[in-house]
Each structure stands twice: as structure tokens, then as C-alpha cells.
Amino acid sequence: MRRVSQSGVVSLMAFVLAIAPFGPAVAADRDERREEERNDHRPLQKIKHFVVIYQENHSFDNLYGRWERVRGLKRADEAHTRQISQSGQLYDCLLQNDVNLTSPPSATTCANSHGGTFTSAFINAPFTIDHFIAPGDKCPPGCTRDLVHRFYQEQYQLNGGAMNRYVTGSDAVGLTMGVYGTKQLPIYKYLHTPGHPRYAIVDNFFQGAFGGSFLNHQWLVAAATPIFANAVQDGSTNDLHSIVDANGMPNTTALYVPTATVKDQRLTIKCPPPATVPNLACGDFAVNTTQPFFQPFSPGTAAAVRLPPLESTTIGDRLTGAGVDWAWYAGGWSNANGDVNGPGWTNAAGPKCIDPNAFPAAVFPNCPDLLFQFHHHPFNYFAAFNPGTVAGLANRKAHLRDEAEFLQLTQSSGMTCRLKPVSFVKPIGAENEHPGYTTETRGSEHLVSLIDAIQKSACARDTMVIVTYDEFGGSWDHVPPPGQGNTNGPHDQWGPGTRIPTLVLSPYLRKAFIVDHTSYDTTSILATLEKRFGLLPLGSRDGAVEDLSNVFEREDDD
């Protein structure tokens, strides 16, 4: 033990007495520094602009599974990887029906004898799509087919968190196990170049609802499943209710035979659900792709099967009520909505739609591109945007805009950011990474162009960019969602579903690259906006989930 001499004690006491008069000032300064540190730990209030880029149809493992330090393919246990048949047997091989993966052109190397008799070039395990489709190939044929991604089928595929019936429940069978070479993606390369923007990769982010794009877009803006008012119940053509079998499946696949008559439709099954699957949602809810009542909708869709206008509250209503400006920027919107000569308009002054990529059945001035996806524009389903009313038309003009306008706004000069406080950006099908519509490379390149435009603008200094995907697109992931053998997060009869890729970019992140393992879902975006602008939650889920301000607390969550 070190001893202090008597002279040393005297000297120490003298020093203490000398600084005593400054004690309160030192303490006040310390407290002020601590308060500043606390504020630095909560930089959400410093964010002046939010940009949500909403991409299409990929699970986390399918796209980002090889990103460093994430809960990806290297951490995927066999129990959540190997796929089983309808009878519960492990497949030896993966049946393939995508033109790029069948035998031929692939050589037959595997003979399946469990859960079906067939041959294949693929064993029962994830495989790399890039080995069969080069990143530079054009689409078609250089892209995968689209994969089924519907409400009841995904629940069957999840199998209570076992994650092992993706193949059996899919029309694309073995393609569900395909993954991309993460490090070949343009977005990966962009975020690994010197001087890249600070970003967090969020590896426990789940799609808000089971199934496809239509329902998950609704959950992005309203945190709720829409009700089809006055839905027909008579079993006629206009009765849009689904019918499932004893396993909850509404359809037939190459590897699944229903146990009863089934029908895969726009609405949930009628109540009550089968006793064998008692927790399935039922009633008059629109869960699969349903066209909006207002233009733009798919040309020729009868009014009886279009969703009646919704009266419920959206995040747009909340923002507007708080005096916060916002917009939904969609690729191809001006053409589809008939905004003649607006940003992105390509059809001259009429009287016909002259763009060769317009729907053949389109009637001027509504000239949607062939890859314009009508169900990707959720605000158009709400009565507040009824173009037949003065208020609705004003709302559309103020808040439903073309993606070309968003890019124009990023071209700001000087120190003034021209973006609205909240921007949702939805690229058109050819640029949003949707399988079957575009190549992964082209979609990822467009994503990079959007981010880079923001980063090179005056907005970069106070903007939070959230990049995520509407849903899994039918692709396998190994991490069970909350409610599916995983209780780490709010859940209900609607979801959340499969894990999806998510990035958050902000200059206020503590490091240049962070991995955040917090459990989130699509409604976490709503929760983030609600927290930042002091808004009430839209529903129970966004009121309970973690918001994305957690990324600012992270230093290294590996």
C-alpha cells in the first residue's frame, strides 16, 4: 500500500482549499457537459428532414445476408434453413421451376426421394443466385421470376417460426432459397467507398404485416389492415373472401396439395377460421392486392372489386395536423395520375398516351407505365385524397408527387435544403429491385442514385434516410419474426412477417458503420416520425414498437 508523507498530506489539503471557491462553478460546468452529452445521445430532434426510400420484395438473408457483422447467413442454424415437405420430411434437393435454374440448363446432381420424387442441381440449402444470373444481365431473361408473397401463404411458410416451409408454400419452389452476393450489390459498394455517409444496418427489422406489397404499404402509412366496406358474402364472382384448408393454405403449389377446396382472394377468410388454425385473421379485411377506388388504378378494373375509399387516419393526416409538410414521391406518378406536363410527364399534350411503355388500355390523361404498380401508392386509397372533391384534389396536388420532383428538390444550391420535412420515395417497378420486373443490379443502382443525390445536397447535414423494403418477396429468411417462436417485439394477427433489409443513414450516428440488432418492424418508421414531431400513435403496434432513434445510441452492437 502506498503511504503519503505528512508534508504530502499538507500539500494535498492546501490544493483542495485552493480550489474550493470554484467548486460550484466546476460542478455546474460538469452538469452542463453531461446535459449536452445526453442531448447528443438523443439527436433525433436535430433531424430536420426524413426520407423513407421504400424498395421492393427481398428478405434480409436474400439480399444482405453476407454483410459483415450482421445476423446473416453465417449465423443461420440448420434447423431454420433446411426446408420440409407438406408431410414434414426434409427434402434432399430443391425443386426448381425458374428458367435460369431448371435442369437443363443446370446439370442434374441431386435426386430427391423424401417429400417427392424429382431431380435437381440444388441441394436443400441456400444457394447464390449470382452464380446463375450475372449482375450485368438484363431483365428478362437475366432476372429471377417473381415469387408468391401473399397473406396466408407466408404464415404457412413461416411455420410458427421454424422458417422451413418457404419452398413448399411457394409457386417458385426452390428459388425461395436463393440469395444474392451482398458484396456485389451497388449499394454495398457505395457504402464501402472512402468517405461514404455514416450508416447503420438494422438486422432485426421485420415487414409490418404478413404477405405482399399492398398490405405492407397500408401498414407503412396507417399501421392498420383496411376493411372492405359492404363486402359481398354470397359466394358470387364479387365475393372476394379467401378460403383456406386445414393447414391455413389458400392455394396449390408444385409441392403442396390442399386438403380441401381453397380460394386465394383479396380478402381474409370468413369468420370463424378453421379449428385447425384458430388464430388466422378473418372477416372483411383486404389483405392481398386490391385496386384503389380512385385513379390511378389498373385499367379496366371494375368498381365492385376496387377497395371502397378508406376513412381511417394516416401518418399524412397526423403530419398535416401538426403543421409538418410531407409528400409521397412515386416513380411514374405524373403519367399515371394524369398530371399533364408535371415532373416526369412523358406523354405530350394528348389526346392519346404516346409513351410506348404506357398501358395499351390506358385512356388519356391517365397514362400509367406498364411497370407502374397501382397498389404501391397507399394514400390513394383514402377518402382524404378523393380527386372528386375540392379538399381531396388539393391534398393530392400538395402531397402525391412524382419521384422526378424529389430529385429536382435535391438539386439545391447554397446552404438551403429544399426537401419537405418528410418524404416517402417509391421508385417505379423497373427501378425498385422487384424480382421479375428488373434486375437486382439496376434497382440497387437507382437506390444509390437517390442516396447520393441527398448526400450531395444541402440536406445531407440534417437528414435521416431510412431505406427499407415493403416485404420479403417470397424469399426465405432464417430469423423468426416476433410472434413466430420469437417474443422479442410486438405482434398480432396481422404480423409482423419475414425479416427485411433496412439501412439508416444520418450524420449523427456515432460511427461510420454501425450494426443495430434492435427488434423493429415497418411501423417503427411511424413511431420515429411520431416521436420526432410529437404525434399520437396511429394504432397499438406503432405505439408499442421501438423507434429508430435507437440507432443513435449504438456504437458497436455486434
Contacts of 29 (CB under 8 A, 6+ apart): none
What average pLDDT does this structure show over 112-116?
A: 93
Which ranges in 20-124 belong to alpha helices (H)?
23-41, 60-64
Judged against a pLDDT cut of 70, whether residue 166 lies above it is answered with: yes
pLDDT digits (tens, 9 = 90+) for 49-104: 999 999 999 999 999 999 999 999 999 999 999 999 999 999 999 999 998 899 88
Q: What is the DSSP letter of 143?
A: S
Residue 447: Cβ-neighbour burial (10 angstroms; 0-12, 13-18, 19+): buried
Beta-strand runs (E) in 344-491? 400-402, 422-426, 463-469
Q: Report the distance separating Cα 435 and Cα 99, nearest Å.
A: 14
Q: Which residues pair with 520 in a beta bridge?
A: 205
pLDDT digits (tens, 9 = 90+) for 196-249: 999 999 999 999 999 999 999 999 999 999 999 999 999 999 999 999 999 999
Q: Report the distance separating Cα 365 and Cα 342, nearest Å.
A: 12
pLDDT tier for residue 557 given thresholds of 50, 70 and 90 = low
Judged against a pLDDT cut of 60, whether residue 528 lies above it is answered with: yes
Using CA atoms in the order 348, 354, 360, 361, what is the torsion angle rounded to 10 degrees? Answer: 40
What average pLDDT does this structure show over 342-357?
A: 95
Three-state DSSP class for residue 509: coil
pLDDT at 558: 55
pLDDT at 141: 73
Q: Which residues pair with 370 in a beta bridge?
A: none
Q: Which three cell numbers stand for residue 125?
A: 440449402
Q: Report the distance separating Cα 130 and Cα 472, nearest Å.
A: 19
Judged against a pLDDT cut of 60, whether residue 23 lies above it is answered with: no
Q: Does the domain formed by 58-331+372-553 have CATH 3.40.50.800?
A: no
Q: Whose CA is closest to 341, among 402, 400, 406, 430? A: 402
- Give the Å distances, CA to CA, from 130 to 18, 133, 531: 72, 5, 41
pLDDT digits (tens, 9 = 90+) for 126-145: 999 999 987 777 777 778 99
Q: Are 537 and 221 in contact (CB under 8 A)?
A: no
Mean per-residue pLDDT of the chain: 91
Judged against a pLDDT cut of 60, whether residue 549 lies above it is answered with: yes
pLDDT at 7: 40
Q: Report the distance separating Cα 514 and Cα 516, nearest Å.
A: 6
Q: Report the distance separating Cα 108 and Cα 125, nearest Å.
A: 16
pLDDT tier for residue 451 given thresholds of 50, 70 and 90 = very high
Residue 205: Cβ-neighbour burial (10 angstroms; 0-12, 13-18, 19+): buried
pLDDT digits (tens, 9 = 90+) for 316-335: 999 999 999 999 999 999 99
Judged against a pLDDT cut of 80, whether residue 30 lies above it is answered with: no
What average pLDDT does this structure show over 409-422?
A: 89
Q: Report the distance separating Cα 547 and Cα 167, nearest Å.
A: 33
What average pLDDT does this structure show over 417-433?
A: 96
Q: Are 501 and 485 in contact (CB under 8 A)?
A: no
Q: What is the DSSP letter of 498?
A: S
Extents of the domains making up the chain: 58-331+372-553
Judged against a pLDDT cut of 80, whether residue 473 lies above it is answered with: yes
Q: Report the distance separating Cα 440 and Cα 432, nearest Å.
A: 9
Q: Which of 24-38, 376-390, 424-438, 463-477 comes out lowest in average pLDDT?
A: 24-38
Per-residue burial over 136-171, b if 16 or more Cβ lie within 10 Å, else e, is ebebeebbbbbbbbbbbbbbbbbbeeebbbbbbbbb
pLDDT at 105: 86
